[in-house]
Amino acid sequence: MQKYLHILDDNDFNIFKEIESLREKIILEDINIEVMDFGAGNPDENRSAKQMHNGVTKNVSTKDLCKIGLKNDFAHLIYAIIKKHQPSTVLELGTCCGFSSIYMSKALKDGACIHTIEGSPKTAIIAQKNFKDIDSLNVNSYVGRFSDVLPEILPNIKAIDFAFIDGHHDRDATLEYFEIIKPYLSKDAIVLFDDISWSKGMTEAWETIKKDDSICSYKDYQKVGLCFMGDN
C-alpha cells in the first residue's frame, strides 16, 4: 500500500478534508431513505438469487449509508492509484453515496471520465447531488441493476482503464461482472475489488480471480484486491 500512499502530498490531504467534510454533513443530517438493495445483504443473510435479482427494500439512514464504502487509508489508496496511473476511462460498480467516485474524480486530470452504477434510485440521487456540490463534473451516474446497465453502456464507452467492483458482494455475481467487463478493458487496465474478505463467498471469488489467465499480477491488501491486466 505504501507504494501508492507515499506519493500523496499536502494538497491531496486538503482534498481529502473537503471530501470528508461533505460526508460529515450528510452524516449529521441523518435522514431515513428507502433503499433498494440488489446485493447480498449481510454476510450471514444467505439471500437467494431471486431475492438479489428482485431487490430487497429497506429503510436506511444517510448516517449509516455514509459509513459504507472505502474510507481513510483505503480511500486514500484508490485516490493514489488513480493519481499515479491516470486512467482515461473509469468504471465503478456500486456508487452508494458517491464518495469513492469523488475520490477518484479529484485524482483525475481533465478529460478523463468516470462511469458509476448504483442500483438504488434514492441512493443515486444523494450521490448525484454530492457530485454537483463538490464539482465532480466528470462523473456519469447510472441507475439500475449492474446486469441490466452494463450491456447498455459498455459498447458505448471507451476502453476501460480502471474498474472498481464494489457492489453485490456475492461470489457468483462478482465473477460474472468480471467476465462481463473483461472484453472492454484496455490492455493495461487495472481492476480493484472491494471487500474480498467480507464473506466466504467473496474470498472464494478473489481466489478464483487471482488465477485468471488474463491477469498479469495482483496485490492483496486484505480488504481490497488489485489486479493488473498488463505490466504496470
Sketch out the chain's domains with CATH numbers.
1-232 (3.40.50.150)
Amino acid at 227: C
41 against 162, higher pLDDT: 162
For 4-30, the pLDDT digits (tens) are: 899 999 999 999 999 999 999 999 988
Cβ-Cβ contacts under 8 Å for 160 (sequence gap 6 or more): 87, 89, 90, 91, 181, 184, 185, 186, 189
For 116-150, the pLDDT digits (tens) are: 999 999 999 999 999 999 999 999 999 999 999 99
In whole angstroms, give the CA distance from residue 107 to residue 62.
Answer: 25
Q: Is the pLDDT of residue 39 over 80?
A: no
What is the DSSP secondary-structure string of 105-174? Answer: HHHSPTT-EEEEEES-HHHHHHHHHHHHHTT-TTEEEEES-HHHHHHHHGGGSPPEEEEEE-S---HHHH
- How much is the pLDDT for 54? 67
- Note the pTM of the prediction, 2 decimals: 0.92
What is the average per-residue pLDDT within 226-231? 91
In whole angstroms, give the CA distance from residue 154 to residue 197.
Answer: 28
How confident is residue 167, by pLDDT bands cut at 50, 70 and 90?
confident
What is the average per-residue pLDDT within 92-100? 95
What is the average per-residue pLDDT within 173-185? 96
**Residue 38 near residue 47, CB atoms below 8 Å:** no
